[in-house]
Amino acid sequence: MPTPWLKYFKRSPQALVQLYCFPYAGGASSTFRSWAQALFPTVEVCAAQLPGRAERIFESPFDRLGPLIDALSAALYPSLNKPFALFGHSMGALVGFELAREIHRLCRLQPVHLFVSGCRAPQIGDSRPGIYDLPESEFLTELYRMNGTPKEAIENPELMQLMIPALRADIAVYQTYRYVPGPRLTCPITALSGLEDERISLNHLEAWRDLTSASFTVQMFHGDHFFLHPSEADVLQCLSTHLKSFSRT
């Protein structure tokens, strides 16, 4: 049954593995539109469309991770009929990680691979003060300083007015999140980051290793926090390499 939570840009009946993608704060499913054409036909790309953006612009966005994970797991569960992988960038990486834990709790399924992009390991935490409840002018200033939102969006006032509610909510999801220790995942994890991302250190990435009993790798790409746009071809090559055993007939 169709659900507003999941966006398929190209249905692939021959797909052998599904790749579920979760965007950064304020992002929409369109972030991953080109991926459906670039990856193997046997990899079916499905992007999450969260409330408060695109065709769901008038829906209230979630501002806490727990309820968001509950809603996403309910939306994903009926479609988990073949091997699946999870990819999330920045806030989306936390979503992917906690969703993997919740799906395993509910039905003992695990992804074949978890890709966490542009995000420090959750057990490290972030000591920077919260910005999600600042007055608008201060909020926008901090967004620009943090490089947490694409520059093109911040410099478009009309677009920002539409994005601010979802941005505030998504940043609240990230900044109010508190990691709760639990069993390690049993799927491989790959942590991706930009070489020029001043927010994420190698130690932040290496700490993801402690959250799985399976293999772990770090992949670095040219670019800053939003490296997945200028380095898209290299990012997709990385995903293809890790998924090739599931995506070739």
Q: How much is the mean pLDDT over the chain?
A: 91
Over pLDDT 70: what percentage of the chain?
Answer: 96
Mean pLDDT (whole number) for 201-212: 97
Give the gyration radius of the chain's Cα atoms.
Answer: 17
- 106 part of a folded domain: yes
Structural domain count, the chain: 1
Cα–Cα distance for residue pair 127/147, rounded to 1 Å: 17
What's this model's pTM, rounded to 2 decimal places?
A: 0.93
Is the C-alpha dihedral spanning 232, 52, 169, 161 positive or negative? positive
Asked about 215 being catalytic, the answer comes back as: no
Which pLDDT score, from 0 to 100, does residue 147 have?
Answer: 67
pLDDT at 219: 97
Query: Which of 132-136, 158-162, 167-171, 217-221 is least confident?
Result: 158-162
Spell out a b/e string for 189-209, using b for 16 or more CB atoms within 10 Å of the CB, else e. Answer: bbbbbbeebebbeeebbebbe
Convert the pLDDT of each residue in 19-73 to its tens digit: 999 999 989 999 999 999 899 888 999 999 999 999 999 999 999 999 999 999 9
Specify if 11 maps to a domain: yes
Q: Which of 29, 73, 90, 193 is catalytic?
A: 90
Contacts of 46 (CB under 8 A, 6+ apart): 6, 7, 8, 18, 19, 20, 21, 79
Give residue 175's domain range.
6-247
- Residue 1 located in a structural domain: no
At 217, give phi and psi (nearest 5°). Answer: -140, 155
**Would you tell me how many other CB atoms lie within 10 Å of the CB of residue 87?**
27
Whether 114 is in a domain gets the answer yes
Two tokens, residue 109 = 């399924």
In this predicted model, what pLDDT tens digit does every residue of 108-124 receive, in sequence order?
999 999 999 999 999 99
Cβ atoms of 23 and 89 within 8 Å: the answer is yes
- Nearest residue to 35 (alpha-carbon basis) of 246, 229, 187, 247: 229
Q: What is the CATH number of the domain that holds 13?
A: 3.40.50.1820
